[in-house]
Structure 1
Amino acid sequence: MTDSPPRPMLATDFTAAGEAKPEKVARPRDAATLLLWRRAGNGYEVLMGVRSAKHRFMPQRLVFPGGRVDPEDRKAPALSELEDHTRRALELRAAPRLARAIGIAAARELEEETGLLLGRMEAGRLQADLAPMRYLCRALTPAMSPVRFNARFLMAPAEAVTGMMGGSGELEHLGWYKVGETPPHELAQITGRVLREFAAVMELPEAERATRPLIWYQGRDTRRLERMSPRSPG
């Protein structure tokens, strides 16, 4: 696929409007994001919240629960392991230990930001249930951003989680938002793109979802197919 034609910077992009390109390009950090979904009438709802104004990265934007992969995620125990297609999709751009850590981070961030458990707590530590997760896509923050992420977007059904939704205050206005409807809060452009990827995937018969091409977003909104050479840099 070819690059999109140049366009003006938008306030809903990864970076703020008018932000100058840094002298040194920041190294992307590995990150995990989870789309927790449930059926709503003829469509779907996803769990989202608004990032606090105190955040440096995408403040006051409506986002999915997620965050960077921590070193502890690489050695954390789990109740179950990643489903085969999800594991292979993650390992296309990550070593096996990192691919698993991305799943762990997605479940951990969900618990920290919403209070919901994809897994169970044992001795004050989350034992993640990785098997319900499915791979959706990934996105690489633009080079001009001072904070960059190589974010993997995973999804899981709401019935896979337990607990009461509460959160830690990192996400405000936490709740279920209808896919395809205009939300009451501002979306980052990449979030809107990922929602469209989710909607397209869910239109497919379940047996065909694992056969679709793997997609990633470069920069602001350039949609690309993943190359099939394993573990190459994003």
Structure 2
Amino acid sequence: MNQLENPPIRDAATIILVRRDEGGSSVLMGMRGAKAAFMPSKYVFPGGAVDHEDAASPLARPIGELHRQRLVAEPREGISPDPHAISAAALRELAEETGLLIGLQDGPQSTWPGYAETGLSPDASQLHYVFRAITPPGRPRRFDARFFVVDAHRISGNPDDFGRACDELSHLHWVPLAEARTLNLPFITEVVLAEITELTGSVPYHAPLPQPDTVPFFDNRTASPRFAQIA
């Protein structure tokens, strides 16, 4: 199998924004384009590949220590995961694809769109690492994707204002959790939604989001799938 048939695995990060009120919980999703090389016409959460520049991107606060430890667990052979770069990529992709920001006024200056104009500094301390999945072999693109949950009340500004979003995702909207699994979803997104429903369903909407006991890991590095829990 040549490299085109089995492309290299890239680190990626995804943010699941959860909006909770007395009426229930919803998540922010958008649809990928019909001509997209990866998951065309599927509804997904905002996210994308980690860029080289993410490792040096300034953050107001780093991701929490528990999540940092879990991010470096189960490394791919020859790869040292960079929690700073992964968490920065999650916040950058959220800003690019939705225009929504999670930041603080007191922090180092960021050049990312949205953050640069508002003077906010990206805040990774609000990210809860909840899921990991590696794309199986044979796909046109492969990612080692880490999924993060953030409570929507951490958004800086109007959570319904997508005016700064790029055109990578269409039909951006808040989807009730009870309805999200009826959309045209990738398999792994369905699995993640089930995890989020279980995680958020046990706490009142006004309480902080809980930390998961472990992080489910769908390990498809090889043709023999493996499931693990990262403690």
Q: Aligning the two structures, in what range does the TM-score lie when normalised by the shorter sequence? A: 0.7 to 0.9
Which residues in structure 2 correspond to 1:193-204 (within 5 Å)?
Answer: 193-204=191-202
Q: Residues 184 and 96 (structure 1 numbering): CA distance in 2 closer, same or farther, change over 3 Å?
A: same
Secondary structure, counterpart of 2:60 in structure 1: strand
In the TM superposition, what are the counterparts of 1:1-234 in structure 2 within 5 Å? 24-93=5-74, 98-119=82-103, 122=109, 124-125=111-112, 126=115, 127-163=121-157, 164-166=161-163, 167-182=165-180, 185-204=183-202, 209-210=210-211, 212-219=213-220, 224-226=227-229
1:38/1:187 CA distance change after superposition, 3 Å:
same
CA distance in 1, matches of 2:41, 2:209: 36
Tell me how far 1:180 sits from its aligned partner: 2.5
User: How many pairs does the alignment contain?
Assistant: 208
Shift of 1:24: 4.5
Moved more, 134-143 or 163-172: 163-172
Superposed CA offset, 1:158-202 (max 9, x none): 111124323111110001011132556411111110001111222
* Distance (Å, rounded) in 2 between the aligned partners of 1:140 and 1:117: 27
With over 3 angstroms needed to count, the CA separation of the structure-2 counterparts of 1:183 and 1:213, relative to structure 1, is: closer
Q: Is the 8 A contact 2:214 2:230 kept in 1?
A: no
In the alignment, the residues of structure 2 paired with residue 100 and residue 45 of structure 1 have an alpha-carbon distance, to the nearest angstrom, of 28
Structure 1 CA distance for aligned equivalents of residues 12 and 46 of structure 2: 11
Q: What is the CA–CA distance in structure 1 between the aligned matches of 2:21 and 2:30, rounded to whole Å?
A: 18
| Aligned-residue offset at 1:137 | 0.7
RMSD: 2.9
Which digits, 9 at most, give the CA deviation of each residue in 1:91-143, with x for residues without a partner? 21457771111110000000000001112694643431001110111011011
Conserved? CA contact 1:218–1:224, under 8 Å: yes
Distance 1:103 1:123 in 2: 15
User: What are the ranges of 5 or more consecutive residues in structure 1 without an aligned counterpart?
Assistant: 1-19, 229-234
Task: Judge conservation of contact 1:138–1:217 (CA < 8 Å) in 2.
Answer: yes
Give the AA of the match of 2:219. Answer: Q
Unaligned runs of 5+ in 2: 116-120
Residues 162 and 98 (structure 1), Cα distance of their counterparts in 2 relative to 1, 3 Å cut: same
AA aligned to 1:188 is P
Kept in 2: contact 1:85–1:210 (CA 8 A): no
Taking a change above 3 Å as real, the CA distance of residues 153 and 227 of structure 1, as seen in their structure-2 partners, is closer
Greater shift, 142-151 or 121-130, is seen at 121-130
| TM-score between the two structures when normalised by the length of structure 1 | 0.78
From the superposition, tell whether residues 161 and 144 of structure 1 become closer, same or farther in structure 2 (CA, over 3 Å): same
Residue 37 of structure 1 and its aligned partner are, at CA, apart by: 0.8
User: How far apart are 1:21 and its partner, in Å?
Assistant: 10
| Partners of 2:4 and 2:162 in 1: CA distance | 42
Moved more, 128-137 or 154-163: 154-163
Aligned equivalents of 2:85, 2:219: Cα separation in 1:
22
Counterpart residue identity of residue 179, structure 1: L
Contact 2:38 2:140 in 1 (8 A): no
Aligned residue identity for 1:39: R
